[in-house]
Each structure stands twice: as structure tokens, then as C-alpha cells.
Amino acid sequence: MAKKKLNKNWLHDHINDPYVKLAQKEGYRARAAFKLKEIDEDEKLIKPGQVIVDLGCTPGSWAQYTRRKLAGKEGGGVNGTLIGLDMLPMEPIADFHFIQGDFRTGPVLRALEGVLAGRKADLVLSDMAPNLSGIATADAARMEHLIDLAIEFSQLHLKPTGALLVKCFKDMGFSQIVEKFRAEFKVVIQKKPKASRDKSSEIFLLGKGLKNPASGSMAIDDEMDDFPLDI
């Protein structure tokens, strides 16, 4: 009965959420678009001509926002390159290069490198979160693993002056994640946008300027089921 009541309360809050209504009005696939919008407007992250990679991009609301920011005249395409990776399928978005699969695998990385064509990204976005087990230590480890993957990806594919924005949770090993960001980025900023629900421990970390850009290829993980990705 308690679970049923919790689900009813969540559904009530969701239906009456002003950002859900605004997302429907403006044609976004999810309210998450407004989290990125607020962070972008504060930090001036997204600019014409950029190469942007969106990790865990399904259902595509962040992709929609970045596409609108880089769009020129109606029907004229975008000024920049937008790439998204996700294991789940995604409905197409104009001018957005979607690659389905796990970005730790060879075929997906080769497809990504084909689109990048030797370029580095100006911005890497990650709205990924782990499948939750309900066991605090396990969930914290899964979250930290995803952050490690996003950092490793950025070290290889991000310009030294670029930025990485990731979703975290305050109750999932957050202090350790912040320390990792400080070890890898020259500037680290915590962001809690208004569109992120007050009840949620969700918070975003922004890292600017790589301290240790890497060379070579990202390690391919053959045992990926230990930390399944989920957004």
C-alpha cells in the first residue's frame, strides 16, 4: 500500500510540475531540457560552431536544446556538430548524429571517431545515472563508475579548454566525485538548477579546462554488465 501511495504522489507531482507543462508546451521530450538550459545560460557553455557530445542522450531533451541553440535559420541546419550516444534507441532529431550502443565498445567508439573526423569536443554532456539497487554502497559505486567513464571519455575526446557537465547525486559518493573532478579540471562548479526538484539529491558538476588530457584510445570494457547504464 505504501508503494502504491508513493507512486500516486509521484504521478500527482509530475502532472502538476510546471516544468513538465512547459516541456510539453515547448516541444521538449523531457523536463530535463530546462536543467541544461539554466546551466547553459549561467555558464555560457553552448556556442555556435562547437562540437558537442551527449553521453546517455535518450530520450533526447538535451539534444533538442543543444540543437536549438546551434540552429541557424529555419531549415538551414546547425552551426556546429552534435553527437549523441546511448544504449537505448532514440527518435531522430534533425542535424543530430545519434550512435546507439555502449560508448565503451569498439564499434561505437569507431563510429564516434568517424563523425569527429579528427576533431575534439568543446563540450561533453552526461545525464547518465545508474540502475539503482537500493543498496547505498553499491549505488554510490555505480554512480562513481559512470563519472569515471565520463572523465576518461573527456580526457580522450575533449579539447584541453573544453568542459564536462555531469549529473550526480549528493547521497551517492558525491564528495569523492568532487575530488576526482578537482584532480582533473582546472575549474569545478556545482550547479543545482531550479528545474531539479527540491526533494531530489540531484546536482550537476561542471569541470572546465583539463589538467591531464590523455592520448590513445579509451579502454574497452568486456564485462559491462557489472555497471549497467541507465538514464
Torsion of CA 121, 139, 136, 205, to 10 degrees: 10
Beta-carbon contacts of 185 under 8 Å, excluding residues fewer than 6 positions away, are 164, 207, 208, 209, 210, 211
Is 18 within the bounds of a domain? no
Q: Which domain holds residue 123?
A: 30-230
Is 14 within the bounds of a domain? no
Residue 13 marked ligand-binding: no
Q: How far is Cα 119 from Cα 121, in angstroms, rounded to an integer?
A: 7
Per-residue pLDDT, 107? 94
Is 65 within the bounds of a domain? yes
Q: In this structure, what CATH number is given to the domain that contains residue 198?
A: 3.40.50.150
Contact 170, 203 (CB under 8 A): yes
Tell me the per-residue pLDDT of 85-104, one tens digit each, with 9 for 90 and over.
Answer: 999 999 999 999 999 999 98
Residue 76's pLDDT band (cuts 50, 70, 90): low
Residue 42 marked ligand-binding: no
Is 63 within the bounds of a domain? yes
Is 3 within the bounds of a domain? no
- Identify any residues that bridge with 168 across adjacent strands, giving them in sequence order: 203
- Burial class of residue 5, CB neighbours in 10 A (0-12, 13-18, 19+): exposed
13: cell is 507531482
> For this structure, is 167 an active site residue?
yes
Q: What is the CA radius of gyration of the chain?
A: 17
Is 12 within the bounds of a domain? no
Report the domain count for the chain: 1
**Coil, strand, or helix at residue 198?**
coil
Tell me the per-residue pLDDT of 140-173, one tens digit each, with 9 for 90 and over.
Answer: 999 999 999 999 999 999 999 999 999 999 988 9
74: cell is 529555419
Residue 116's pLDDT band (cuts 50, 70, 90): very high
Is 25 within the bounds of a domain? no
Residue 17 marked ligand-binding: no
Q: Alpha-carbon torsion 67, 151, 228, 131, what sign? A: negative
Q: How far is Cα 230 from Cα 141, in angstroms, rounded to an integer?
A: 14
- Pick the catalytic residue from 35, 37, 167, 180: 167
Predicted TM-score (pTM) of the model is 0.86
Q: Alpha-carbon torsion 202, 206, 28, 81, what sign? A: negative
Per-residue pLDDT, 123? 98
Write out the DSSP string of 66-122: HHHHHB-STTS-BSSEEEEEESS-----TTEEEEES-TTSHHHHHHHHHHHTT--EE
Considering the chain, what is the average pLDDT of its residues? 87
Of 35, 76, 56, 62, nearest in space to 204 by CA: 35
Is 19 within the bounds of a domain? no
Alpha helices in the chain (DSSP H): 2-15, 18-26, 33-43, 61-70, 106-116, 136-157, 174-184
Residue 148 marked ligand-binding: no
Residue 60 marked ligand-binding: yes
